[in-house]
Amino acid sequence: MLLTKTPRKKIVFLGTPEVVCVVLNELLKRARAHSELILVVTQPPARSSRSQQLIPSPVQEFAYENGIPVLSPLSVKEPDFLKDLGCCEPDLCITAAYGQYLPSQFLKIPKLGTINIHPSLLPRYRGAAPVQRSLENGDKVSGVSLLYTVKEMDAGPILAQEKYQVPLDVTSPQMLKELFILGARMLVDILPDLYAGKLNPEPQNSDDACHASKLSAEESFIHPNFLTALQCHNKIRAFQPWPMAKINFIIDGKIVECKLLSSKIEENRALNVGEVHINQKEILIGCAQNTTLGILELQPAGKKAMCTADFLNGLRNKSITIQNNT
């Protein structure tokens, strides 16, 4: 008796930034026995602010380097795109930081549905900035969720979750990378059971849901008069790489806006709220509840990023205070 080989399931991947290329890599390396990556969908090339040339997304470049066809529609609602996707007859679509809302017409196409890799423990932090809001809030535990995509954002049934212990000094880009590595491995591990119908997706409890809204430039300034050193530190690591946490120093009467790149909490030093103290390597700032923040790296407006020691060397003993941004 001849044994027939089960055809590989056809997968379409949707994503845009470099951080999700790890998902493509895992699918290509570890899922070839049962899955075929037939198409990548990504955001259209963006125009460089300097050269004005169109720059393809990192996902598009990865796909080209690995011989995978690419579509980059302005909108996934475009009839021509939906027709092309339907002609591919995908079994499964996978999304990770794609950047567009998927309409009902899209969700009807893949036979086994669409799975999203979301970097939070849903139903917490549904929305655009789950990692940033988790860090800003000082969460000690986060995680990643694999869920079916439905019309309501990040509200679909959950296929798998894994927790992640949040290091005190991890930044948003670092944590996002680690969560997508974790999510990519989880995804490849569950695919055989998904194809075999052995998974039991769990509905989310919407009563426990909270929204992770987009970051805005307007909220980027830290306010030591109202925030503790820990809250300031959390905001500094959460708001990278954009919009960056900022503070206005007043140096000999002139306001100098600085982006804050790294910091630490000075547990053994207490300053009055708003007080500034300078040592050889740090700018110490008194924060709420008798806590003190140490600034280790910063970037003055119009200049390169630098360690605080280099910044202080350039001041040549000039006086420095902070502007009260209320």
296-317 pLDDT, tens per residue?
999 999 999 999 999 999 887 7
200 and 223: one domain?
no
For the chain, what percent of residues have pLDDT higher than 70? 98
Domain of residue 82, CATH code = 3.40.50.170
Does 245 have pLDDT greater than 70?
yes
Sign of torsion over alpha carbons 211, 215, 218, 223: positive
200 and 292: one domain?
no
pTM (2 decimals)?
Answer: 0.94
Instruction: Give the pLDDT band (50/70/90) at residue 218.
Output: very high
**Per-residue model confidence (pLDDT) at position 6:** 72
202 and 245: one domain?
no
197 and 297: one domain?
no
**1 part of a folded domain:** no
Determine the structural domain holding residue 44 and report its residue range: 9-212
pLDDT tens-digit profile of 50-84? Answer: 777 899 999 999 999 999 999 999 999 999 999 99
Does 326 have pLDDT greater than 80?
no
The verdict on whether omega for the bond into residue 243 sits within 30 degrees of 0, i.e. cis, is yes
**3 part of a folded domain:** no
Instruction: Give the pLDDT band (50/70/90) at residue 46.
Output: confident
203 and 222: one domain?
no
